[in-house]
Amino acid sequence: MVRISNMGIVSLCIVLLLGSEICIAARQELIVTTIKQDPYTMSKGSQLEGYCMDLLAELAKKLGFKYKVHLVKDGAYGRQDESGNWNGMIGEVVRGEADLAVAPLTLTAAREKAVGMTKPYMQTGISILLRKDIVSEEAGFFDFLSPFSGETWFGILIAYFVTAVCICIVGRLSPCEWSQPETEPNHFTLLHSLWYAAGALSLQGAGPHPKAVSGRVISCTWWLFAVVLLACYFSSLSSSQGPDSAPLMIKGFEDLANQDVIEYGTLSGSSTLAFFKNSNNPSYRRIYEHMERRKSFVSSMDEGVQRAKEGNYAFIGESVSLDLAVARHCELVRAHEVIGMRGYSIVTPLGSAMLKNLSVAILQLSEAGELAYLRTKWWASSCIPDSAKGSSLRAHSMKGIFLVLAIGLGIGVLLSLFELTSKSRSTAGEQKKSCCAVLTQELSQRLRMTSTKGDQETSDKNKA
């Protein structure tokens, strides 16, 4: 017994004695209909390429069939007229002119009644496309920290403490700052050094100021670091906020419905428009009534993207198509909210034997990560990440001023040691002692201020 299915597959079926039936399928070339839409199906010379063509090739490899692709004759996806007839790719499959329709065809109840539709190979929904510069993001409590990255703030904190410690050390080592450790108090304690360094960051200063050359070198270097740091901070802060910061904040359809500054619309006669028209959600109904009242529809996807690029217009469409527009046009952004989730499926004739196998193959490709790879391949963005505007300055971009500070601190500490060595050499000549012995004694007195002061107070009490 020979069966010829509507899929172009010839089956040879042998009825055994026990009544069971074995079918040996001899596969012929399948006719596949599609439609041109970037990036699903595009022309490349005499060939077709795109997401759907790659998907079809993977399915053919898994299921072992050959195919021939042609573009749909009337350039339509598939809509049922008043008399119940279908046009577009759905109509070609219904009339037997094609065995498969591989395109971004939305899985709907009406289509499911007329043809077979596989498990969705891609999920989509309805979202909003608009320019980046006409909406503002929600302000955070710590946005004032945004001009610098976390590693930069950490570097600044380390630089602050290291500078304060160096000021404290120089204040102890330099004889010009502390000439008589036995009798004079040290003005540059660690606490005062921290306060002095903090005063420089506020451009106010805090006395007393260093008198020694070593202390002044560190002080000048730290002031230079503070001035450059503050200049970078305020410059980055003002550029990130912008002089004409928009007052609107559109995160979803509720925000869009509650404002009347930005015009919005969708594709005329599309399933997106039907979703808002048939919805019982008050916000969605207001969006539909606004679009119907203002006649803010567009005739094509390209027109909607172009109006969104021109500004003061939000285009409502399918999220995957909007993602492609964002990847191609860097000044656009898609809202995070996605509603009305639906899927794109492959169409077969109603009751087709291949429907189950195609669905299983699609699920296997999804589980293997092939569908995600195809999505990344064909939706690759040509935009450079927006790192200049509103980005955080990183430590490596300010490494020059950190290097200048490190050199200044090193020179200051070395100068203080040179000053102390010069005094020790002069004292050693007067007292006719070894310079190393005098220098060791000076370092011991200056670096053990607390214990020295405590011993002196103890001896004074004993004398009393």
CATH of the domain at 221: 1.10.287
* Rama region for 67: left / alpha / beta (φ>0; ψ in -120 to 50; rest): beta
Does the pLDDT value for residue 302 go beyond 50? Answer: yes
Q: Is residue 225 part of a domain?
A: yes
106 annotated among ligand-binding-site residues: yes
What residue type is assigned to position 249 of the chain?
M
**Token output for 243:** 């002089």
> pLDDT digits over 348-359, tens only?
999 998 999 999
Q: Is residue 160 part of a domain?
A: yes
Is the Cβ–Cβ distance between 33 and 71 less than 8 Å?
yes
Is the Cβ–Cβ distance between 5 and 11 less than 8 Å?
yes
Q: How far apart are CA 131 and CA 386, in angstroms?
A: 14
Q: Is residue 168 part of a domain?
A: yes
Residue 323, CA distances (Å) to 67, 125, 217, 227, 403 in order: 30, 11, 56, 43, 43
List of residues 6+ apart from 464 with CB closer than 8 A: none
Is the Cβ–Cβ distance between 324 and 379 less than 8 Å?
yes
Q: How far apart are CA 460 and CA 453, in angstroms?
A: 11
Q: Is residue 184 part of a domain?
A: yes
List of residues 6+ apart from 110 with CB closer than 8 A: 80
Q: How far apart are CA 185 and CA 174, in angstroms?
A: 14
> pLDDT digits over 54-97, tens only?
999 999 999 999 999 999 998 888 888 889 899 999 999 999 99
Is the Cβ–Cβ distance between 109 and 342 less than 8 Å?
no
Residue 315, CA distances (Å) to 282, 299, 325, 334 in order: 20, 12, 11, 10
Q: Are strands 21-27 and 9-15 parallel, antiparallel or unpaired?
A: antiparallel
Is the Cβ–Cβ distance between 33 and 72 less than 8 Å?
yes
Does the pLDDT value for residue 174 go beyond 50? Answer: yes
Q: Is residue 231 part of a domain?
A: yes
Q: How far apart are CA 447 and CA 414, in angstroms?
A: 16
- Sorting pLDDT into bands at 50, 70 and 90, what band is 344? very high
Does the pLDDT value for residue 290 go beyond 80? Answer: yes
What residue type is assigned to position 104 of the chain?
P
152 annotated among ligand-binding-site residues: no
Q: Is residue 321 part of a domain?
A: no
**Tokens 């899985």 sit at which residue?**
107
Q: Which of 267-271, 335-339, 386-390 has the weakest average pLDDT?
A: 386-390
Q: How far apart are CA 4 and CA 24, in angstroms?
A: 12
Distance of CA 182 to the CA centre of its chain: 61
318 annotated among ligand-binding-site residues: yes
Mean pLDDT on 390-416: 79
Q: How many helices (H) and strands (E) does the chain have?
A: 16, 14
H-run or E-run covering 88: helix 88-94
Q: How far apart are CA 163 and CA 155, in angstroms?
A: 12
Q: Is residue 367 part of a domain?
A: no
> Can you point out the beta strands (E) in 290-433?
313-318, 332-334, 339-348
Q: How far apart are CA 356 and CA 343, in angstroms?
A: 17
Q: Is residue 454 part of a domain?
A: no
- Which pLDDT score, from 0 to 100, does residue 10 have? 44
Orientation angle between helical segments 213-241 and 190-201, nearest 10 degrees: 40
Is the Cβ–Cβ distance between 305 and 274 less than 8 Å?
no
104 annotated among ligand-binding-site residues: yes
* Domain limits for position 227: 143-241
Q: How many domains does the chain have?
A: 1
> pLDDT digits over 434-462, tens only?
667 666 766 676 666 444 444 444 444 44
Mean pLDDT on 127-146: 75
- Which pLDDT score, from 0 to 100, does residue 140 have? 62
pTM here? 0.56
**Tokens 């020295």 sit at which residue?**
452
58 annotated among ligand-binding-site residues: no
